[in-house]
Amino acid sequence: MSSSTVEQVKERLGIVEVVSQDAKIADGKIVAFRAKVKLSFKFE
């Protein structure tokens, strides 16, 4: 996605809801992190 496309999407975002988060731990350290989100935006 080009930076101009990202800017257009950012301007149209309405609501971002974090639904859940989790992390993978290996050797006592976080090696991966994930957040599931719901997005609401205008579509023209």
What is the predicted pLDDT for the residue at 34? 96
What is the predicted pLDDT for the residue at 3? 64
pLDDT at 27 over 70: yes
**pLDDT, tens digit (0-9, with 9 covering 90-100), for 2-22:** 566 666 666 777 788 999 999
**Paired residues of 18 in beta bridges:** 37
List the Cα angle 9/16/37 in 5-degree steps: 105
Taking the domains of the chain in order of start, what are their residue ranges?
3-41
In the DSSP assignment, the letter for residue 6 is H
Which residues, 6+ apart, have CB-to-CB distance to 5 below 8 Å?
none
pLDDT at 36 over 90: yes
Burial profile 8-19: b = 16 or more Cβ within 10 angstroms, e = fewer: eeeeeeeeeeee
